[in-house]
Amino acid sequence: MGWHRELLIGFDLETTGTDPHEARIVTGAVIEVRDREPMGRREWLADPGVEIPPDAVAVHGISSERAASEGRPADQVADAIADVLVTYWDTGVPVVAYNAAFDLTLLSAELRRHGLPSLRDRLGGRDPAPVIDPYTIDRWADRYRRGKRNLEAVCAEYGIALGTAHDASSDALAAARLACAIADRHQKVAGLGAADLHRRQIEWYAQWAADFQTFLRRKGDETATVDGAWPFRELTGSGAKG
């Protein structure tokens, strides 16, 4: 039947910025999807505790005033999202996130910032898995296709309706549907089990990072470094709230 015909969990965050170690959660969504159809959803609005920059507001439409008046405290939101995701991982259900290395790194940073148990702690020392990242898979499966690789562009390539871009629920659903569409087009992806696909994505992402780093250095940035860790990166050393 294939992993793409079974239960998948779409996941997305909208945030205050583009640095996953520094940005804060503004909205989050987790959507249960089976054979491309949504079965249930959970959504969160957080008060990030910092001003939401205008350029971030322009992307997702959530102002600092709305977040402060309607959002739950940031630590409660991060804790709740982590608990929900871990429940699925504990039962072997894949979590689908477009550019997972951003969303899961940011969630990990938020847990650390608020002194909460990490994803690994909640999983008894295991890494979060299985994760399915359509961004990483598409980049490997159709390596030489020209054009952008953002969610909007890749959804258009595979005929997936995105709905309201940069809305966490819309993006989470689109990511899950996109994973199914990629598997339908590329049988070499559909034929892998979810656990094996997770392991392969670690390899694919690391290879992409190494190739991109080589490209940047050839272009003149001799100190360019591209982190190849996937599906998330954790800071080391002591963390602090704030």
Q: Give residue limits of the domains in the chain.
A: 3-218
Report pLDDT for 236: 57
Mean pLDDT of 106-125: 97
Calculate Rg over the CA atoms of the chain.
Answer: 17
Give phi and psi for 86, each to the nearest 5.
Answer: -65, -35
**Residue 208 — left, alpha, or beta (φ > 0 → left; ψ -120 to 50 → alpha)?**
alpha
Report pLDDT for 237: 47
Q: Report whether pLDDT(80) > 60.
A: yes
Dmax of the chain from CA atoms?
A: 49
Mean pLDDT of 226-233: 94
**The pair of three-digit structure tokens given for residue 111, joined into one six-digit string:** 């847990």
Query: How many beta carbons lie within 10 A of that of residue 179, not counting itself?
Result: 29
Mean pLDDT of 74-81: 98
* Average pLDDT across the chain, whole number: 94
Q: Report whether pLDDT(10) > 80.
A: yes
Report pLDDT for 163: 79
Report pLDDT for 44: 98
Question: Which of 131, 180, 136 lies closest to 4, judged by CA?
Answer: 180
The rounded percent of the chain whose pLDDT value lies above 70 is 96
What pTM was estimated for this model as a whole? 0.94
Mean pLDDT of 66-90: 98
What pLDDT, in 10s, does the model give residues 162-200?
877 789 999 999 999 999 999 999 999 999 999 999 999
Q: Report whether pLDDT(241) > 50.
A: no
Report pLDDT for 239: 41
Mean pLDDT of 4-19: 97
Q: Report whether pLDDT(202) > 80.
A: yes
Q: Report whether pLDDT(54) > 50.
A: yes
Domain 3-218 has CATH 3.20.20.370: no
